[in-house]
């Protein structure tokens, strides 16, 4: 049986169509989304790691605020002038690693993937 492509323009298909460079609304959506999501993650990390991580979480929050401000100004993520939402994920992971906050959801992810 033959396979029929359901895309109108398969060669021009993008799995991530958001334009973070020229579309102010899209960029702001992702910046606000990451700000809100990060607060949930910081709260979970605080519960997960306890008081010993308070300073590391605070430094991560400060770095994230600075990074997001820089992105708003430059529209670049880690030097990438055509960023995608995946670049936000990479930046976020870099910040967590920098401050020794191993992904607090790692256990949950492992269980989901088993």
pLDDT of residue 57: 96
Instruction: Quote the CA–CA distance of 106 and 68 in Å, as a whole number.
Output: 24
What residues does each domain of the chain span?
A: 23-113
Residue pair 92/34 in contact by the 8 Å Cβ criterion: yes
**Using one digit for the tens of pLDDT, what is the confidence trace for 94-109?**
999 999 987 767 777 7
Instruction: Quote the CA–CA distance of 53 and 99 in Å, as a whole number.
Output: 9
pLDDT of residue 104: 64
Beta bridge partners, 77, equal: 80
Instruction: Quote the CA–CA distance of 40 and 99 in Å, as a whole number.
Output: 17
Distance of CA 70 to the CA centre of its chain: 15
* Predicted structure pTM score: 0.73
């Amino acid at each position: 049986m033959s396979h029929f492509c359901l895309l109108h323009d398969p060669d021009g298909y993008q799995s991530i169509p958001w334009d973070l460079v020229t579309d102010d609304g899209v960029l702001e959506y992702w910046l606000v989304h990451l700000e809100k999501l990060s607060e949930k993650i910081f709260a979970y990390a605080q519960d997960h790691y306890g008081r010993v991580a308070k300073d590391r979480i605070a430094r991560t929050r400060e770095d994230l605020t600075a990074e997001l401000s820089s992105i708003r100004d430059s529209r670049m993520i880690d030097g990438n002038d055509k960023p995608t939402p995946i670049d936000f994920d990479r930046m976020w992971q870099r910040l967590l690693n920098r401050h020794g906050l191993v992904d607090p959801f790692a256990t949950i992810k492992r269980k989901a993937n088993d």
